[in-house]
Each structure stands twice: as structure tokens, then as C-alpha cells.
Amino acid sequence: MKSCLAVLLILIGGSAVAQQHQHSHSPYSGSQTRDIKALSEQQLADLRAGRGMGLALTAELNGYPGPLHVLELADQLQLTAEQKERIQRLYEAMKKEAVAVGERLVADERALDQHFAQGKITSATLISLTARIGETQGKLRAVHLKYHLTTGEILTRDQKQRYSELRGYR
């Protein structure tokens, strides 16, 4: 009787596992309906708005604050009027530059997606488009890192230390 029960439990368990595998979906399920398959709506919005998307983490976490976060913490950092004005100009320049490069990245990703969608992709096109996407991604990252570097030059050592504390890095 116990052995019959054990066999029954094994069969039921195996059936449940098989059903689970039949109904499991790829984490990409639903992405096939995106306008540009490789970019989520959030990524598109971030690129078009010039947001950092973690591209400058190496600067941020090594003591080079970004202009937007410095402006958000201006009072706690006790920025002078001149510092605040300079950092505001940096932020506006960064955003303008990042939006332009982000739009270029969106266009490059769209071109790659369209070549695949139309069945017109070739090895040469693949290499060319992915190289262009990689270069554009690098330019976008450099934009964000450059402005972290410049922002860090405007702040005093004490302000940078306070920034790290306020952001939870120390």
C-alpha cells in the first residue's frame, strides 16, 4: 500500500512538473510587441529624457557626484550661489548632449530591429549596426561620466564627502 502511494505521488509530481514546463514563459515573453524589441518603454523614456540609467556609476560610487543629484542636495551641501549656477549649467548641457546621443542610440537600435523584422539582416549589416550601437553606447556613457568629473571639480572636498554621506555611500 505504501509503495502504491509512493508511485502515485511520484506520478502526480512528475505530471505537475511537466505541466509547469509546458506553461513556463521566457522572461522576454511580451517583448515581441515592442516597437524596438531590445528597448523597454522605460529605457526609451530614459534615453529620450537624457537620464543616466546607471551609466556613470563608476564615477558616482568613486566620489564624483552627478550634477542632477548635487542640485537636488544643494541646501544640504551648502552650495554657494556660484556653485549652484555652474552646476545648473552643467546639468542643462549634460541633458542636451545626452538626449542627442540617446536619440541616436534609439535610431541605431530601431535600424537593427527593422533589419531583423524584415528578414533583411546580413552578416555585414549585423557587424556594422552593432558596431555603431556599441560606439553610441560608449559615447552616451562618456557624456554622463564627463559631467560627473566636471561637477566633482566644482565641489569642495567636504561637499563631496557630505554628498557621499547623503547618498548613503559612507
Q: Which residue has the cell 528578414?
A: 119
22-26, 30-34, 51-55, 119-123: least confident range = 22-26
Q: Global pTM?
A: 0.82
User: For position 131, what pLDDT does the model report?
Assistant: 98
Band of pLDDT at residue 20, cut at 50, 70 and 90: low
Tell whether the model's pLDDT for residue 95 goes beyond 70: yes
Cα–Cα distance between 161 and 163 in angstroms, integer?
5
- 122-142 mean pLDDT: 98
In angstroms, the CA 163 to CA 75 distance is 11
76: cell is 544640504
